Amino acid sequence: MIGILKIALKLLVNDRGKFAALIVGITFAIFLIVQLTSIFSGILAKASSTIINIGARIWVMDPSLKNPLNTIPMPDYVLDLVKSINGVKYAVDIYSGVGLVKLSNGNWQPATVLGLDDATLVGRPDLIEGNINDIYGADAFIVVKDTDYSKLENPTIGTTFEINDHRAVIVGIADVPVSGLFGIPTLYTTYSRAVKYLPNARFTIGYILVEPKSEADIPEILNAVAKIGYLGLTEQKFEDKITNFYIYQTGVGTNILVMTFIGFLVGLSISGQTFYTFVLENLEKFGALKAIGASNSELVYMILFQASFTSITGYGLGVGISALLIAVGKKFVPDYTATIGYWNLGLAFVMVVAIAAFSSLLAVRKVMKVQPFDIFRG
């Protein structure tokens, strides 16, 4: 069997033109699949940036919330009701809104403003400069140093500007795991200051962050929240809600899916046609192998080995090129978003297996029909 596979490899690589065409076609298809799905993963991660960065175990919100980017304010009594639920260790409110920042050059820049509970500061970010207690100072804000940080003119501690005609002072610079999706800088302050600085409706609580006493208490808490007419979600369920919103209620998921399928069809058509042509041009060699005693099963093994070898090689090159491009993009393009994960690598692998299977099927059917006398008859 080893000898047969060595012959198969030599037949494959000796025809350099066909071999190169096979590798390029599969590599390009895998590159497109991995690249597009990685961009989609990056979009979903950034869309969930607030949830990831704050890290609350349970989020309570208005049940009619469809787009997680737009909060629906809740009355103050909801916070008291949630605090009274059995199994709740603590519950705090958080404010989420958008304010207009007037920069020193006179330009205006929208910024996401997150107001943390005054007493506990639950959800506060990690600081790389400054002291978290300084957030209680007059007009104090903390700025997040992410890809959108420069849009606020790279503020340092002590930088002042205006937010909705109110004076604001930077007292800390924070680092967060994930930056925002829509290119808007993020500022943290206390809940009371956020409510004062930004225009609001009658109610101001955007979300309620809940910490359960134990994992076993989570289902009971979620049921109790539902009974009072509000929606409680664990951190993962909230991220899933955002994912479903972008997949099913925006054009992002559909467009990525269509383009990924197109990439798959490109690889399927190029590799299938090229591999079939390669087999046709080498039929006499397969017939000669049959004449000297090779069985049909051994010829099938040869075809499967050739298709698998080219597919796996193209898969590795496609993933490698995509990873290199993503690394370069993240280094030189601030707002570039792409994340390679196990799921899109798995999807690409399933598709390359399908490409290999399709290519093998076309070739095997032709090789099985060849007879030695057809080769030597002339």
**Regarding predicted confidence, which is higher, 260 or 152?**
152
CA distance 187 to 174: 9
Ramachandran region, residue 234 (left: φ > 0; alpha: ψ -120 to 50; beta: rest): beta
pLDDT at site 223 = 95
> Given a cut of 80, is residue 292 above it in pLDDT?
no
The whole-model pTM stands at: 0.75
Which stretch of 92-96, 151-155, 338-342 has the lowest confidence by average pLDDT? Answer: 338-342
Would you list the domain boundaries of the chain?
2-46+251-376, 75-229
Give 257-269 pLDDT, tens digit per residue.
Answer: 788 788 778 777 7
Ramachandran region, residue 9 (left: φ > 0; alpha: ψ -120 to 50; beta: rest): alpha
CB 161 within 8 A of CB 103: yes
Which stretch of 95-109, 110-124, 362-376 has the lowest confidence by average pLDDT? Answer: 362-376
pLDDT at site 371 = 67
Between the ranges 9-18, 36-45, 134-143, 338-347, where is the mean pLDDT highest? 134-143
pLDDT band, very low/low/confident/very high, at 337 (cuts 50, 70, 90): confident
Residue range 3-20: mean pLDDT, rounded:
79
SS (H, E, C) the chain: CHHHHHHHHHHHHHCHHHHHHHHHHHHHHHHHHHHHHHHHHHHHHHHCHHHHHHCCCEEEECCCCCCCCCCCCECHHHHHHHHCCCCEEEEEEEEEEEEEEECCCCCEEEEEEEEECCCCCCCCCEEEEECHHHHHCCCEEEEECCCCHHHHCCCCCCCEEEECCEEEEEEEEEECCCCCCCCCCEEEEEHHHHHHHCCCCCCCECEEEEEECCHHHHHHHHHHHHHCCCEEEEHHHHHHHHHHHHHHCCHHHHHHHHHHHHHHHHHHHHHHHHHHHHHHHCHHHHHHHHHCCCCHHHHHHHHHHHHHHHHHHHHHHHHHHHHHHHHHHHHHCCCCCCCCCHHHHHHHHHHHHHHHHHHHHHHHHHHHHCCHHHHHCC
pLDDT at site 14 = 80
Please name every residue paired with 162 in a beta bridge, in sequence order, or none if there are none.
102, 167
CA distance 94 to 328: 37
**Regarding predicted confidence, which is higher, 82 or 257?**
82
CA distance 284 to 280: 9
Please name every residue paired with 140 in a beta bridge, in sequence order, or none if there are none.
169
pLDDT at site 378 = 52
Within 10 A of 211 (CB to CB), how many other CB atoms are there? 16
CA distance 266 to 65: 40
**Regarding predicted confidence, which is higher, 86 or 105?**
86
Find tokens 């049909």 and name the residue: 296
Residue range 323-344: mean pLDDT, rounded:
83
By residue count, the chain amounts to 378
pLDDT at site 375 = 59
